Amino acid sequence: MINSNRALRISIVVQWILIAAAVFFGFYEEGNLPEALRSYISEQDNKSISLTEMVVLGSSAILLIGLIISSVGIYRLKSWARTPYVACSLLITFVFLFLGPVVTPPIEGTLQYLANGIEGFAIALMYFSSARENFESSVSKNSEISNQEEAAA
């Protein structure tokens, strides 16, 4: 269990580092994109936002805040954190489908994809390793203990 907990914590920290690096490199790399892509980005930044886009961006911001808060809870092995972490991860992926075309520089994109893979790894650890015991409610733990006692009797 200790190794699973450690792997989970390390995966969360690595995910934070990759996301921070992706944001940094995204700002850095944007200036090195071809002129056509830079003008597209500038055009997208300067256009007015529709109501649908505002809803998508607002929900994305709320989900991102939820993901950050729940990832801190996962790092601290809090039982409440697993459900919002998984829900926010899945919903962010779903909302991403409605953002339309996105220009992502290569290093930023690579770091984001790595962070997504590690996010999946963390979710797998929370459900399929001994680290899951940190996120199970005391009710289910007590029922498992009583089931084991009944089986032993």
What domain count does the chain have?
Answer: 1
Query: 66 near 95, Cβ under 8 Å?
Result: no
Q: Is residue 1 over pLDDT 80? A: no
Q: What is the DSSP letter of 98?
A: T
pLDDT tier for residue 69 given thresholds of 50, 70 and 90:
very high
Q: Which two tokens stand for residue 90?
A: 């899945």
Instruction: Give the amino acid at 48.
Output: S
% residues pLDDT > 90 (the chain): 63
pLDDT tier for residue 152 given thresholds of 50, 70 and 90:
low
Q: How many CB atoms lie within 10 A of CB 147?
A: 10
SS3 percent helix, strand, coil of the chain, rounded to 5, is: 85, 0, 15
Segments forming the whole domain that contains residue 130: 2-152
In this prediction, residue 146 carries a pLDDT of 55
pLDDT tier for residue 82 given thresholds of 50, 70 and 90:
very high
% residues pLDDT > 70 (the chain): 88
| pTM > 0.85: yes or no | no
